[in-house]
Amino acid sequence: MASPTAPAASASPLAEMIYVELVGRAFLRVDNAAVFKPDPAEIAKLSFELAAVFHKAEKVAQAAAGPKNVGYDVQLSDLTSWEK
């Protein structure tokens, strides 16, 4: 059972993918044994932080790419004229 302070496994699939990628690159081979240079728990924390930053930047990019109301000035009187 997961500890109450640990994030749920499905909390961020992106964080999980980042973790797997970082762990795969973070160990050294010494005498045919894998030795982790950084602490795996620190890699997990970093993975969630990177995923959060990515999601934040993704939302900003999607908002910037959305439709823009350029050159239109719609007034309430314009809408009421349609009821005639």
Domain boundaries, the chain: 10-58
φ and ψ at 28, to 5 degrees?
Answer: -110, 150
Would the pTM count as exceeding 0.85? no
The pLDDT of residue 11: 60
The pLDDT of residue 16: 93
Interval 8-63: pLDDT, tens = 444 689 999 999 998 888 776 667 776 767 888 999 999 999 999 999 999 999 88
| Residue 84 clears pLDDT 70, i.e. is over it | no
Q: How distant is the alpha carbon of residue 17 from its chain centre?
A: 11
